[in-house]
Amino acid sequence: MDRFASSSGGRLFLAILPDAATAERIHRLASALKRAHRFNGKLIAADRLHVSLFSLTGLPDHQIRAAYEAVTELRSKPFEVSFDRTVSFRGGPGNRPFVLIGEQGLRRLQSFRQMLAAALTRSGLRRLANTSFTPHVTLLYDARSADEYPVEPVVWTVAEFVLVHSLKGHQHVARWYLQA
């Protein structure tokens, strides 16, 4: 845990990941949409696709340990997510995230994140728990943007969440399994 503390550089965050087959499906969809929208941005690699839940970047070591311990105590059943639209978010000039989003199919994910937020709050990390949340999977970044558009739903069962250290790739530092 300590070697991935705030001083190690990069980003540290809690996330859910699609299973490998779903990640490949999302990547193929992103490739087709990149061509359709005439985007020039580089696709996010299939093995880096995720939904960020909470950022732990920049926290002191003792708060990272507190967050780790708080989420270790969390109990939840696996649940399904469904993303059924794409859109470009606002971003810096030339750097607009093009993402998968949804609504109805993400309610259980939003409830799960609220459970995580409550656990973090009980551990003294209320500042983390008060952030807004728009569940999404970033497909690429581009200078151009695209309006919201429906896609065939991308569905998977969330059976785990991970602590990701992002620095020259994604390393899964810790993994927590959801159990029925």
Task: Please tell me the distance from the alpha carbon of residue 101 to that of residue 50, in angstroms, as a whole number.
Answer: 12
Cβ neighbours around 105 below 10 Å, total = 16
Residue 113 lies in a domain: yes
Residue 150 lies in a domain: no
Residue 143 lies in a domain: no
Residue 139 lies in a domain: no
Residue 7 lies in a domain: yes
Task: Please tell me the distance from the alpha carbon of residue 128 to that of residue 65, in angstroms, as a whole number.
Answer: 14
Residue 146 lies in a domain: no
Residue 141 lies in a domain: no
Q: How many domains does the chain have?
A: 1
pTM of the model: 0.91
Provide the residue-wise pLDDT of the chain in tens; the chain has 180 residues: 444 444 467 899 999 999 999 999 999 999 999 999 999 999 999 999 999 999 998 889 999 999 999 999 889 999 999 999 999 998 887 789 999 999 999 999 999 999 999 999 998 888 777 678 899 999 999 999 999 999 999 999 999 999 999 988 899 999 999 986
Residue 168, domain extent: 2-80+105-129+156-177
CATH of the domain at 11: 3.90.1140.10
Residue for token pair 């989003």 = 101
CA angle, 63 as apex, 60 and 69 as ends, to 5°? 145
86: which residues sit within 8 A by CB, 6+ positions away? 33, 98, 99, 100, 101, 139, 146, 148, 149, 151
Residue 20 lies in a domain: yes
Q: Which pair of structure tokens corresponds to residue 22?
A: 């779903």
Residue 98, strand partner residues: 88, 140
CA 77 to chain centroid, in Å, comes to: 19
Residue for token pair 């859910």 = 16
